[in-house]
Structure 1
Amino acid sequence: MFPHLTSLGIHDPTQIERYTLRQEALKDVLKIYFHKQRGELFAKSVKFKYPRQVKNVLVDSGSHQYKEVTEINRNLTLVIDELNRITTPEQLSESDLKEKILNDLRHLEKVVTSKIHEIETDLMKLK
């Protein structure tokens, strides 16, 4: 019934509560949250990363200029279709959307800070 979710190792899709999808560099990150079980402090979740597909698109046929664009992985779209059949996609209010954007910005800041630290550490090893 849900072959793409099963292929990800999710054997009981009825336990899925919601999911989030965000883009990091050239990857899409899908995080699936499950219903909280009795006795658990936090709901269980799993994360999957899908590389974005890179395509060259003709921008100007006269000068034969191409532009590189990325798009969502086909397998990910199939997984999302199945997830949408299980969950009800959230309709965010303006304040919820603002909070989501702020959370995304905070997450991006952490990722960038961590990467900068990693690069600086690598540089120090070269001295």
Structure 2
Amino acid sequence: MYPNLTGLGIHDPKQIERYSLRQEAHKDVLKIYFHKQKGELFAKSVKFKYPRQVKNVRVDSSSGDYKEVTEINRNLTLVIDELNRLTKHEVVTDVDVKQKILSDLRHLEKVVSSKIAEIEADLEKLK
């Protein structure tokens, strides 16, 4: 039913909660978040990087000048279509973006605090 997601190694697509997509240099980074399982502090996630496709597009027909442009990888568009069907992805507004950034910031604070506590506990074991 979701051949592109299973091709990525995701055996139970119904566990997907949401995803994010961003561009880094000449790559698109897809991060898939799963529903938090009982007893887990943080929900699991996986990250995939797709190289952007480079194309030369004619800028001016009279001079024959070309410009190099990049576009999303075709395989990634197929994966995103499946993710949209699973998550019923909605159009994001500026307010949603602000809330997401704040939510991501709070999540990062928790992750960093947890990691610091883990490292401090390891240090205590060495005493």
What's the TM-score bracket when you normalise by the shorter of the two chains?
0.7 to 0.9
Extract unaligned runs of 5+ from structure 1. 105-127
| TM-score, structure 2 normalization | 0.75
Extract unaligned runs of 5+ from structure 2. 105-127
Q: Give the RMSD, CA atoms, in angstroms.
A: 2.0
| TM-score, structure 1 normalization | 0.75
Note the 1:22-101 alignment, pairs <5 A.
22-98=22-98, 100=100
Query: How far did residue 94 of structure 1 move?
Result: 2.8
Residues 101, 25 of structure 1: CA spacing in aligned structure 2 closer, same or farther, 3 A cutoff? farther
The answer for the alignment partner of 1:20 in structure 2 is 20
CA distance in 2, matches of 1:60, 1:89: 38
The percent of aligned pairs where both chains have the same amino acid is: 79
Q: Helix, strand or coil for the counterpart of 2:82? A: helix
CA distance in 1, matches of 2:14, 2:37: 13
CA distance in 2, matches of 1:34, 1:11: 12
Structure 1 runs of 4+ off > 6 angstroms?
101-104
Aligned length: 104
Spell out, residue by residue over 1:43-86, the C-alpha distance to the aligned partner (whole angstroms, 9 max, x if none): 00000000000000001111100000000000000000000110
